[in-house]
Amino acid sequence: MEKSTFLAEDFREKGENIYEVILVVAKRARQIGELQKRMIDRALGQTEMMEQQAEQELEGEEMERIFEPEERPELHFEKPAIQAMREMANDEVDWKHVE
């Protein structure tokens, strides 16, 4: 299992100071969160379109529910902050210091 607890020492050599690294990690976490949100919106939108199509095909028939909850896609994401810290610790974040 990958590490999900990080200490300041894990990032000491990643930037000029820990505060700069924290800002970079926070920005990356926001990017990851936005990406996850778009993936969720896309998955839910596709599910809603499938439900609407099925309703149109079965028009006239009485049905309370066309799709059961288990048919909805299950999306599981790591917390954006943890993923961003893991990327920073593994030198997967490419960034430059700009003055």
The Cα–Cα gap between 39 and 19 comes to: 30
What pLDDT was estimated at residue 12? 84
What pLDDT was estimated at residue 44? 78
Q: What is the pTM of this model?
A: 0.68
For 84, counting Cβ atoms within 10 Å of its Cβ (0-12 exposed, 13-18 middle, 19+ buried), the class is: buried
- Is pLDDT at 22 greater than 80 in this prediction? yes
The Cα–Cα gap between 9 and 79 comes to: 21
- Is pLDDT at 1 greater than 50 in this prediction? no
Give per-residue pLDDT as tens, 29-76: 999 999 999 888 888 777 777 777 767 766 655 555 555 554 556 788
The Cα–Cα gap between 91 and 63 comes to: 53
User: CB of 83 within 8 A of CB of 29?
Assistant: yes
